[in-house]
Every structure is written in structure tokens, then in C-alpha cells.
Amino acid sequence: MARWTPHADERLIKAAVELFAQRGYEETTVADIASRAGLTKRTFFRYFSDKREVLFSGAQELELVWVRGLREAPEDAGPVAAVEVGLEAIAEMFTERHPFARIRARIIAANPELQERELIKLEKLASAGAIALERRGVSADAAALAARTGVGIFHLAFGRWIAQDDPGALGRLLRESMGELRKLLTT
């Protein structure tokens, strides 16, 4: 009987990121990743359909955290206040992933196909956010605007976050970007 391998997915992700950083994404194979994690290729394929999938394994969790934030914002919060709660939740989720996020961003920047996938991920985040806001009673137009603006802010602040060294800075950078946008739109 096969032994149960606890946290195999986390070990595979960690191994993959180490190898991507050391050897490059293109040069790393699934066999390399599995072997570095002390696991088999078969175990790898139980979690990921290919090595690209390792880079996007956080997408579902990101959407979940974002939508949950929007849902759990105080009842009297307007659409933008709810978006701000969603962004805080995202910031918390990412804090410990700073090294991974930096390596990942470098790989994605060098690969147009992965960039497309990243854009689709953000687009889904905007749609899911809009639906969550509508369920709070926000009109469809305002929900789409607020969610899309939130995802735009996330996109920009995330870029600033990985360009600097403090893993805990994402929350502040998100708030700063939102504040800047507010200022730009009112002056």
C-alpha cells in the first residue's frame, strides 16, 4: 500500500521554485521537481497536470480569499470599502509568499504564454469579485467598476511589492495605491 505523503503539494511547489530559480524554468523537468521533493513523478501528477500548473496553483486560493473578503466585509460597507477588505485579505495571504512571488514573476515576465494565463487569472478575479459584490446588493455596474478597480490596484501594488524587499509591505502598498487613485480622480 502506498504511504500517505503529508503536504506533498507544498513540498512539490517548494522544490519547483528552488529549481526554477537555480536552473531556470525551461530547464527544469517534472522528474527534477519530484526528485528534489523526494517524491515520484506519479505523485506530482496527482496534484498538477504539468509544471506550468505549479505556478498557478495559488490562483484558486487567491480567488477564494478575495471573494471571502468581499463577502465578509461589514454589512454597511459600500462596494469600494468591501473591495478594500478583499485586498487586505489578499495581502495577508501573500505575506509569507514573497520569495515565491518574486521568482514566479520573473518566470512569467519571460514567457508570453504564461503572461496570457496571468491576465486570464486577473480577469476571473474581477468577474468573481463583481458577482460577490452584486450578492451584497450592489448594482451590476457599480459592482463591475469596483471589482475591476480593485483588481487593477492589486495588479499594480503586487508589482511594487515584488520589486521591494519587505514581505509584509503588500497591505500598505495596496492602501497607498487605492489612496493615490482616489487622489488622482478627485483633483
Burial readout 64-87 (b: 16 or more C-beta within 10 A, e: otherwise): ebbbebbeebeeeeebbebbbbbb
Which region among 38-46, 58-66, 102-110, 141-149 touches a copy of itself (by CB under 8 A)? 141-149
Does residue 78 interact with a copy of itself by CB under 8 A? yes
Q: Please report, as residue ranges, which positions from 80 to 119 form the binding site for a copy of itself (by CB under 8 A).
A: 80, 115-116, 119
What is the CB neighbour count within 10 angstroms for residue 123?
Answer: 12
181 belongs to the binding site for a copy of itself (CB under 8 A): yes
DSSP labels, 136-156:
TT--HHHHHHHHHHHHHHHHH
Helices 140-162 + 98-109 axis angle, to 10: 100
60 scored as a contact of a copy of itself (CB under 8 A): no
Q: Which residue among 85, 146, 162, 174 contacts a copy of itself (CB under 8 A)? A: 146
71, 152, 169, 172: which one binds a copy of itself (CB under 8 A)? 152
The rounded distance, in Å, linking the Cα atoms of 121 and 116 is 9
CA distance 141 to 151: 16
Minimal distance in Å, beta carbon 187 to a copy of itself?
A: 6
Q: Which is nearer to a copy of itself, 132 or 144 (CB)?
A: 144
Among residues 6, 49, 74, 184, the one that binds a copy of itself under rule CB under 8 A: 184
Task: Check if the beta carbon of residue 87 is closer than 8 Å to that of residue 150.
Answer: yes
Q: What sign does the dihedral 127-58-93-64 (CA atoms) show?
A: positive
CB of residue 60 vs a copy of itself: minimum separation in angstroms? Answer: 18
Near a copy of itself by CB under 8 A, which window of 12-20, 24-32, 58-66, 179-187?
179-187
Q: Name the minimum Å distance from CB 174 to a copy of itself.
A: 12
DSSP 8-state class, residue 49: S
Site of interaction with a copy of itself (CB under 8 A): 78-80, 115-116, 119-120, 123, 141-142, 144-146, 148-149, 152-153, 155-156, 160, 177, 180-182, 184-187
